[in-house]
Each structure stands twice: as C-alpha cells, then as structure tokens.
Amino acid sequence: MAEQSLPVVDEGASAKESPSSREGISRRALLGTAGATGLVLGAAGGAVGYASAPAAATPLTSVGSDEVMFHGKHQPGITEGLQARGHLVAFDLAAGAGRKEAAALLRRWSQTARRLMAGETSGSDDTDVARDAGPSSLTVTFGFGHSFFARTGLEKQRPVALDPLPDFSSDQLDKARSNGDLWVQIGADDALVAFHALRAIQKDAGSAAKVRWQMNGFNRTPGATAHPMTARNLMGQLDGTRNPKPGEPDFDQRIFVPESGTPAWMANGSYAVVRRIRMLLDDWEKLSLGSQEAVIGRRKANGAALSGGTETTAMDLEKTDAKGNLAVPINAHARITRPDQNGGAAILRRPFSYHDGIDADGVPDAGLLFVCWQTDPLRGFVPLQRKLDRGDALSQYIRHESSGLFAVPGGAAEGEYVGQGLLEG
C-alpha cells in the first residue's frame, strides 16, 4: 500500500519425565523420536500399521528449520523478511519495580529469546506448545517506551528521539492500547512457535511487569506464492514496494543509530513506531478498481505506478494522460510518500495485517499493525505522516486507533542481555 509509510506433542516422552529433564534439549532433536512409537498414517489419514523399529528422523521443512540468530550487532526482527505470524505486546512495570527489577527482567527475557530462537525449550516450565517444531524463523525484539525512563530513574539516558509523537488529525487513539514502558515484538513463520514465545515472555515477566496491551498479526506464509514478491495487505495492494533494502549505500544511515550516536547505549539500535491502523474495508471495497488504483497511485495487479512500467520502475510524477490529467493523482498515497518528495525521509516498513473479528453490524475489525524502523522518528515517520495528514487520498479509508514509539537498543553480544548498556551503564 505504501511507498514508505501507511499512516495509515512429543509422543516418545516418558510419563515419568520431569520438566527439568528436558531443559536445554532442542525441539528439533525431539522430532527424531516421534517415528518410533507413533501411528503411521496413510494418505487418507487412517492408521495402516505401527512402526516396528525406530525410523530415521524426517528432516524439518525449510520453513521449520530456518533460524535467526539472537546475538548480533542489531536485534533480530528488524531487517529479516516479513513473518507469517506476529505478536506485539507492551508491558508496564509493576508498582514498586525499578531499575533493578527491569534489569533482571531483560536478562530473563534475553535468555528465553535466545533459547527459543535456537529451537530449544524455554526452560524447566516449558509449555510444550512448540515441542515438535523447529525455530521457524522466530525473532523476539525488545524496546523501551518514553515512560520507562522515569520509572527506572534513568531520565538522563532517555533519547531526545523518544519524545512523544505529535498529534495528527487522522488520529483516533485509544490510550489504553498505546505506548507502554516496555515493548516486545514476536514474529515467526509458524503460529504455534510464535504463541509459545508470547506465553514464555509473559510468564517471564512474573511480578515485575504486567501486560498493558497485546495485538496479533499475520502475513502471507513463505512459499505461498510462485516466487518471492512484495506482500499484499488486506486492501489487496502490494505494500512496501519502495522499502529501503539492506545493502543499499544509505540503509544503515536511515535505519540504525550509528556507533557514535547519542545516547551511547542506543548504538546500532533503531526506533520503532507502532500504529494500529484500521482499514474501513466495506467503504474501500465499494470503489471500482480504477478508483482504488487512483487512491494508491499504483496498479493493483502488479504494483506498477500509474505512470507506467513495472513495480520497480521509477514513478513519473509529471506524466499526464490523454486529457492532460496527471497519471498519478496529486493526492495519491504513493506520490505523497515518495522520499524525494519528503526531503529524503525514509522508513523501513515491517508490518503485520490483523483481523479481530466482525461486529454486530457485519463490519470487520481489520487492518494493519504498522511497524516502521528509522534512525530518528523526527526525521523519518513524523514528516511523512504530517504530509499524509494534509491530503492523502487514502486517509478516508483508514483510521489510526493506537500508537507507540519505542527505543530499540542494538543487539546483545554473547553473554549479555538486551539493554544491558542502559541498565548497567
């Protein structure tokens, strides 16, 4: 939809096995035991016999075996491709909890995230929800909200870039589902793996923090299309055509805080803007195909700009049709969000779609869990959103219902936890 911004079970386990005896065992290692005792099912699902001897373990599919490293220069869940399932959750520190409790919590969370992302159990109290699965590209990402710093006595370490976002005319924000002391983003290519991680993170919070809000999202499953392509959103549009790409000369400059950045604990980190954007799908779907394309400024079928070419062809903003009208309307979403029309402002979009049911009138509560990354939201998201606020044709078909801004520190080195530079600095 946007160029850069849419303002818009283990059957072989013994009954006597204690939970602690499984601690540290890779979920993938457990897969090899299933064929020894389970029913062998035919194509129609019927039991055709029993395995008389241990069978060789069946390799995980590519989706299950894919693994993202927890430790690294940057946190996971930023530059990786879109994941099929996601959970966004914000926590507030409990009354009386401060810097010490926050440090212990981030240490627990980091240890759990490392284990789960490696395809291991979460610990001695693992729920077994993901027992049969591999890592499935699981990522867990942690961030700090504006309020976290006062709660922990670290106001002097709060980045200027974390100042609250300004009000926008399209905002209809629910404060109870916005912001928060701590933010966690979970993504995976398997829904059970993602849910397993969500429960583990919630349980690890213990008495130190409580959930403020939580949202669930999804994307197309990897391999569902004949070839890799830009994802579609719930409006049916290709969404993220002009996303910055790792390897581009200015990618790190646009997305990550430099090594010499301020404050020092944010080096190699990024800032995440999170917006729950409801799509007014009934209104949108009443539009003709041509009208939908005029709102976006791109062909629905292939993402090509209305000025011609393919999805990746540069948009010709001056091209006119036979009647002398601009091929890409002046208020088209794709035109307004072009970086060269916004002083180079750019963000890395990494959203999830969501659907939270249908109300009594038959209206779907559905849309986009918009997550974007940038070095500084005052130079990334804010100028883009301000311009969209002044005349984006898409604005009448969407509604911003919640918002959050989080400082996401760089990745944790081996033996460290996320945020250690802040909490122990």
**Whether 397 contacts 168, CB under 8 Å:** no
Q: Tokens 């992302």 map to which residue?
A: 117
Where residue 237 falls (left for φ over 0; alpha for ψ -120 to 50; beta otherwise) is beta
pLDDT tens digits along 267-303:
999 999 999 999 999 999 999 999 999 999 999 999 9
Nearest-CA neighbor of 116 among 81, 76, 82?
A: 76
At residue 1, what is the residue type?
M
Mean pLDDT of the chain: 88
pLDDT band at 345 (very low <50, low <70, confident <90, very high): confident
Of 239, 252, 389, 392, catalytic:
239
Residue 193 has pLDDT above 50, yes or no: yes
**Integer CA distances (angstroms), 227 to 68, 148, 222, 224, 379, in order:** 22, 43, 10, 8, 34
- Angle among Cα 348, 270, 247 to the nearest 5 degrees reads 50
Tens of pLDDT along 347-365?
999 999 999 999 999 999 9
| Band of residue 41 on the pLDDT scale cut at 50, 70, 90 | very low
Residue 34's pLDDT band (cuts 50, 70, 90): very low
- pLDDT greater than 80 at residue 408: yes
* Terminal-to-terminal C-alpha distance of the chain: 41
How far is C-alpha 39 from the geometric centre of its chain's CA atoms? 38
- Helix extents (H) in 118-258: 146-151, 191-205, 251-255
The answer, yes or no, to whether residue 182 has pLDDT greater than 70, is yes
Per the annotation, the verdict on 239 as an active-site residue is yes
Q: What is the pLDDT of residues 20-32, one digit of tens each?
A: 344 445 565 544 4
- What was the pLDDT predicted at 65? 92
CA distance 245 to 110: 27
DSSP tag of 266? G
pLDDT tens, residue by residue, 109-126:
999 999 999 999 998 789
Summarised one tens digit per residue, pLDDT across range 209-251 is 999 999 999 999 988 999 989 999 999 999 999 899 999 999 9
Average pLDDT rounded to a whole number, residues 334-348: 83
Phi, psi of 164 (to 5 degrees): -55, 145
Tell me if 68 sits within 8 A of 76, measured CB to CB.
yes
Q: What share of the chain is helix, strand, coil (3-state, %, to 5)?
A: 25, 20, 50
What is the structure's pLDDT at 346?
Answer: 86
**What angle in degrees, to the nearest 10, is found between the helix axes of 191-205 and 99-117?**
160
Strands annotated E in 268-410: 270-279, 348-349, 352-358, 364-374, 398-408
Q: What is the mean pLDDT of residues 314-333?
A: 95
Tokens read off for 310:
């393919």
Indicate the pLDDT class of residue 40, thresholds 50, 70 and 90.
Answer: very low
Q: Which residue has the tokens 């599919």?
A: 61
User: Residue 29: what pLDDT?
Assistant: 55
In degrees, to the nearest 5, what angle opens at C-alpha 92 toward C-alphas 155 and 191?
125
Respond yes or no on whether the N-terminal peptide bond of residue 258 is cis (omega within 30° of 0).
no
pLDDT band at 156 (very low <50, low <70, confident <90, very high): very high
pLDDT score of 76: 98
